[in-house]
């Protein structure tokens, strides 16, 4: 093997010293080539060799930054989780009304939300929907159910709905007229889920005429909307839910002392 001056050497052709020198030579050649280019040539050279690598690196940095921001960004407080069954309502209008109720209830819409499962908006009686709703109830994630009277009675008979006469604050009970109250007539059976006494239980509030229904329903023939509270819903959400109910039924919000 000869060195760079033509003299013989014991080093192998692949020795690192020759590689390093060759790399340095290539680097000097690239630098000299870059200096010899005009502005347009430099741009074309950059596009040919570095543009896509730079864009890829920037995309990766942006993606990692977004993932970090999303993981650290405070999530809005969920005031209530709602399902709307049996009745056809415009999902976008419902969402707009929910945001309005959040404001009326005294919350910042950027920090607090009412969420819903939009897949169940126009149904609730098929097997998949019933399974989904039962899962929500069993898991304790469902707070409010809006549905037709038959669906309300089915879940009331299973003990899944709260007795509003025992649950709602006095100001809401006094502010809801009798014609807006929906009672389930309970007759004890062998299981006696709700006790051994036959009685009428206040399980829902009629929503016909509220801004939510009137703005979101598709036709005037759609009536019979009933709002009920689920027994397994989170207890710590009830104060916020009461504020939402006051907003829905246009009752005065209580001032906090």
Q: Is the CB of residue 248 less than 8 Å from the CB of residue 80?
A: no
Asked if residue 158 and residue 206 are part of one domain, the reply reads yes
Residue 2 in domain? no
Q: Within this chain, do residues 118 and 242 fall inside the same structural domain, yes or no?
A: yes
The total domain count for the chain is: 2
Tell whether the model's pLDDT for residue 69 goes beyond 70: no
Regarding whether 147 and 47 lie in a shared domain, the answer is no
More confident call, 206 vs 17 = 206
Half-sphere exposure of 94 (CA within 13 A, CB side): 21
Two tokens, residue 10: 């014991």
Is 209's pLDDT higher than 60?
yes
**Do both 98 and 223 map to the same domain?**
yes
Distance of CA 159 to the CA centre of its chain: 28
Smallest Cα–Cα separation from 96: which of 216, 214, 206, 207? 216
Q: Does a structural domain hold residue 241?
A: yes
Residue 11 confidence (pLDDT):
47
Which residue would you say has higher pLDDT here, 241 or 27?
Answer: 241
pLDDT tens, 89-142?
Answer: 788 888 899 999 999 999 998 999 999 887 765 555 677 778 888 899 999 999
CATH number for the domain harbouring residue 101:
3.40.190.10
> How does strand 77-84 pair with strand 144-147?
parallel
Please give the structure tokens belonging to residue 27. Answer: 């680097």
Cα distance between residue 120 and residue 83, in whole Å: 7
In which domain, by residue range, is 225 found? Answer: 77-248
C-alpha to C-alpha distance for 152 and 174, rounded to whole angstroms = 22
């Amino acid at each position: 093997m000869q060195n760079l001056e033509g003299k013989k050497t014991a080093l192998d052709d692949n020795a690192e010293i020759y590689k390093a020198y060759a790399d340095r030579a290539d680097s000097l050649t690239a630098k000299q080539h870059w200096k010899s280019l005009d502005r347009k040539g430099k741009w074309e050279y950059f596009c040919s060799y570095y543009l896509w690598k730079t864009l890829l690196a920037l995309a990766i940095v942006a993606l990692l930054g977004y993932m970090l921001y999303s993981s650290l960004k405070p999530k809005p407080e969920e005031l209530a989780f709602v399902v709307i069954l049996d009745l056809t309502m415009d999902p976008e209008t419902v969402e707009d009304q929910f945001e309005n109720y959040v404001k009326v209830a005294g919350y910042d819409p950027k920090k607090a939300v009412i969420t819903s499962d939009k897949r169940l908006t126009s149904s609730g009686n098929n097997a998949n929907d019933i399974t989904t709703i039962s899962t929500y109830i069993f898991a304790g994630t469902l707070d409010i159910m809006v549905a037709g009277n038959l669906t309300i009675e089915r879940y009331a008979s299973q003990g899944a709905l709260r007795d509003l006469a025992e649950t709602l604050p006095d100001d809401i009970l006094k502010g809801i007229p009798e014609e807006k109250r929906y009672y389930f007539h309970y007759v004890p059976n062998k299981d006696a889920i709700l006790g051994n006494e036959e009685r009428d239980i206040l399980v829902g509030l009629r929503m016909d005429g509220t801004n939510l229904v009137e703005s979101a329903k598709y036709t005037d023939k759609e009536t019979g909307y009933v709002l009920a509270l689920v027994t397994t819903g989170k207890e710590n959400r009830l104060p916020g839910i009461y504020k939402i109910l006051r907003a829905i039924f246009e009752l005065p919000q209580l001032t906090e002392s």
